[in-house]
Structure 1
Amino acid sequence: MTEIKMVITDLDGTLLQADHSISTADYSTLKELGERGICRVAATGRNLVKVRQALTPDMPFDFVIFSSGAGLMDWKKQKLLIARSIPSEETGEIIRFLMEEKLNFKVSREIPDNHHFAWWRSTPCEEFERYLNYHKVLGDAVPLKQGDAFPISQVLIFLRRGTELFVTIKQKILNHFPHVSVIRATSPLHPDFTWMEIFPEGVTKARGVEEVCHITGIPQEHTLGIGNDFNDMELLDYTRHSYVVDNAPDELKFRYRNSLSHLKDGFSYAVRKHL
């Protein structure tokens, strides 16, 4: 079996418990990985402010990939290494297009200030209201105006759950804006909704891992990844050994190796198969 030199884990629904804590067993596994000289990487869709709600600076991680790969931090040094954004010229066109498509969406400011955002409501949508009410306490949340254009790190579109709808809108976006990344995620707020995320070109969790491999000199074939949702697919397609926890969608459980639920220390169960 290939020696593991780097372990990459998603946070919500994978490593974190329902209360956003790390279980005693999983924390112990992270510590042991460090003692063995194995690089520990968190890869999450959370922005940096929300990462800090779950991870303190002394947590046993070496790197944190956040905003689905738009940002990368050396966690031990608390140093921002990478921050990617979409320039204002293209942002203005994207905002205008999404308004014309009558979609509900928000755009996040540049990293590290991407907890601040602007929003557009085209139609009544309970998911949009849930998101707005929860996140407006974390940063500025202002309504967009026609003609707005400024650099952003992410667009988040709120859609009713359904693969066909996602695929249709994704294709429209890529036809108009071929130089962006479009990522699918299950809403953490309500299972009846899907989130479509638009990022700068090439941004994925996998690219973040590739950058950590370059920084550390660790080859791809010595990596292990574990996740739970569709926005982890690029990551899991990249890592040499790839697992999903038992609470992942069936579509992913058919595609990758299976572990236990995140509530049953699925992170540790997968990792310890390789120690």
Structure 2
Amino acid sequence: MQIRSPDIHIDADTDLGECPIWDETTETLSWIDLHRGLLCRSAGDAGQIDTVPLPKRIGAFGLRRNSGEVLGLEDGFYLRSAETGNVDLIAEIEPDLPTTRLNDGRIAPDGSFICGGMDEADPQKPISSVYRLDGSGAVTTVISDVYCANALCFSPDGGTMYFTNMATRTLVAYEYVVGTGPVGAPRLIAELAAGSGLYDGAAVDETGAIWVAVWGGRRLLRYTPDGSLDQQVEMPVTNPTCCVFGGADFKTLFITTAQFGLTKEQRAKEPLAGAILSIDLPVGGLPEHRFEG
């Protein structure tokens, strides 16, 4: 597979871009600016960015079945109305752990929202969890002892959920059961060498291969479902953060990036840090699932 270097899709000034989502019904790319508490959108190729300020920092979001979004804000799950803009709390998460926040999430094939947290005070402390929010508003804990949740995505048949507990430097797979969530022991897919970066956000293509951004590693990796490293794409930034398939044929991979964590000197050398990058690929992805609530 021949893959060219990424292009600049949107010359954004994102501090910590994450959670890109392509809405095929409006041909709109959305993403978050995590610490600024912004939901960002851009339609078409004009490069214009519309931002929606949120009441708190945001770790992840997903599109709802009819309209609006389900939000994983720093302290819990919320629903946002597209009509009124109201943001309403559904459930607080980890209120007894003041140093944790929600960090990454994805809508599952069964229409639930899978979202996990992290401890900001000590990312080496596994005190957070991954949660499943269903359409009725019920929340269950599905993975415990989490350092920092990332890379949540699903196989095309919906039977496998991929995940990284970031500090472990491993990418793992769980069996995913509709109506329940991930079950059983995780299966190791891949592992990064110490000092080579950390797995961040990920997406799965139509063949079942996993594309994962490497935070601090300046690259995007593609693994086949058996864990074979199939492709490595060099990035023009230190911290690529996440990716999603979109475009008219779902053959464009959009990649969020971050300025967060860079020194002033590094930022000066990385003018594309914070931009939205894109790569046209010979293989496509699939539409994102929608939240049933």
Report if TM-score (shorter chain) is over 0.5. Answer: no
Relative to total residues, which structure has the larger strand share, 1 or 2? 2
Give me the TM-score of the superposition, normalised by structure 1: 0.31
Q: Which of the pair has more CA radius of gyration? A: 1
Give me the TM-score of the superposition, normalised by structure 2: 0.30
Relative to total residues, which structure has the larger helix share, 1 or 2? 1
